[in-house]
Structure 1
Amino acid sequence: MASLTYDQANQLRYRLAGIELPETVDRAQLNALLTAGVRAVLEQELEALEDRCRAVKDAAVEVSGAVDWSAQARRIRDRADARRSGAYIDRHREEVAL
């Protein structure tokens, strides 16, 4: 079953809201049903968005946990100390054509 996006559902709602109805159909009930459908689609999109955000956050937490931050801080501090003392010389890598 193909699902609609929120915009598609909303456009469909407005197209169907203006159609001629038989006398036995209550327009207020039809509008309530259409609005509920659009809301359900919006809730699905928001849930999918939350799932994607949660996955990105989980990946970031996993990556940050894989790094030895004290070693990183020590490396940065040592490099800064070496630059200040003049013991460190910045080197630029030249591209080598193959």
Structure 2
Amino acid sequence: MQSPMKLGFFNRFIKNFSLLVSLIKDYCKGNYRDVSPMFLTILILLIFYILIPFDIIPEFIPVLGLVDDAVLLTFFIYLLEKPLHKYAKWKMEKGE
């Protein structure tokens, strides 16, 4: 598996997002609990931002309405990157 740090920005984002979804599933199943309170806080903020219809820039403004979502999602994923790499390592050691 190629290190996410060596991937291009978009590929790295997709890889990290995929890891995040997998981590959430493993966390909910109780398979992986090695996450910090800060990680959980950032994750909850991310989920609320995605689910709550309030936006910094409303979607009805062409292009800009989606840009704020993309920027914040990218920022949240960036903040979660180290714990995601730790999870990826755990997952590889587990053989998945």
Could you state the TM-score of these two structures normalised by the residue count of structure 1? Answer: 0.32
Rg larger in structure? 1
Could you state the TM-score of these two structures normalised by the residue count of structure 2? Answer: 0.32
- Name which structure has the greater RCO, CA cutoff 8 Å, separation 6+: 2
